[in-house]
Amino acid sequence: MTLFSCETGSGYPCPVPQDLAEKEAYLSDLNQYLSAFRLILRDMILNMTKAQLNESISHNFMVQMIPHHQAAIEMSENLLRFSKNTALRAIASSIITEQTESIANMQRILPACSDLTNQPGELCLYQALANRIMENMFQRMSYAPAAGSIDVTFMREMIPHHEGAVSLSENALRYDICSDLVPILNAIIVSQQRGIRQMQRLLQEAASASARSSAG
């Protein structure tokens, strides 16, 4: 499979124009999109794995989730430079708004919540699962197959990103954490599960449209 080809049997439409000049411009956009995505992902992985952890699960969750959210904001801004899909642009704009607010909320409560410490056994269990969730997310995002469509590529990358946030939040909620953090975690779960459903629906619609086009 070449980077700019639509995969045979993928079920997704390939928007690459047939006109040579338009095709070259589109492929240039796709290259720019992918280059920016890889840099954002690299920084997210570095900042999440190098975060300074301590004896507080509340602290550890936030110092790893803040760079996770920041990456989602930057990835969404990257998409908005190129996408003309109204529904997907609305999803990206919501990600920016919601996760900017979530970062601000976590930064506000971080100093006080970091004072709530946990037992070593709890810390070990929490972080072991958090590390597995993050590694799975990093792998899925790193190897998400690039499609001929920037929109489809973004959704293939963002769905595992959202699923990682949901799993990390559910993991933290199993333990004794700062009371001010609980509503933030619940909001992450609700908003990112909604985003996952919206993007899965757009992928299904794209696949259906491609199937009808092929049948016609």
Instruction: Write out pLDDT tens, residues 75-99.
Output: 999 999 999 999 999 999 999 999 9
CA distances from 175 to 63, 118, 169, 193, 215 (A): 17, 9, 11, 21, 52
Could you tell me the residue range of the domain that residue 147 belongs to? 20-215
User: Is 4 within the bounds of a domain?
Assistant: no
**Where are any strands of DSSP class E within 24-139?**
none
> What is the total count of domains within the chain?
1
Q: 59-69 pLDDT, tens per residue?
A: 999 999 999 99
The rounded radius of gyration (Å) of the Cα atoms in the chain is: 19
User: Is 109 within the bounds of a domain?
Assistant: yes
The CATH number of whichever domain residue 133 belongs to comes to 1.20.1260.10
Please report which confidence band the pLDDT of residue 6 belongs to, taking 50, 70 and 90 as the band edges: very low
Instruction: Average the pLDDT over 47-71 and give the result.
Output: 98
- On whether the CB atoms of residues 101 and 72 are closer than 8 A, the answer is no
d(CA 200, CA 212) in angstroms, rounded, equals 18
Give me the chain's average pLDDT, please.
Answer: 90
What angle, rounded to 10 degrees, do the helices at 150-172 and 182-215 form? 150
Please report which confidence band the pLDDT of residue 72 belongs to, taking 50, 70 and 90 as the band edges: very high
User: Is 6 within the bounds of a domain?
Assistant: no
pTM: 0.88
Q: Which residue stretches of 56-148 are H helix?
A: 57-80, 86-113, 120-142
User: Is 40 within the bounds of a domain?
Assistant: yes
User: Is 1 within the bounds of a domain?
Assistant: no
Nearest Cα residue to 133 out of 106, 177, 157, 169: 169
User: Is 205 within the bounds of a domain?
Assistant: yes
Q: Say whether pLDDT at 42 is over 50.
A: yes
User: Is 10 within the bounds of a domain?
Assistant: no
User: Is 103 within the bounds of a domain?
Assistant: yes
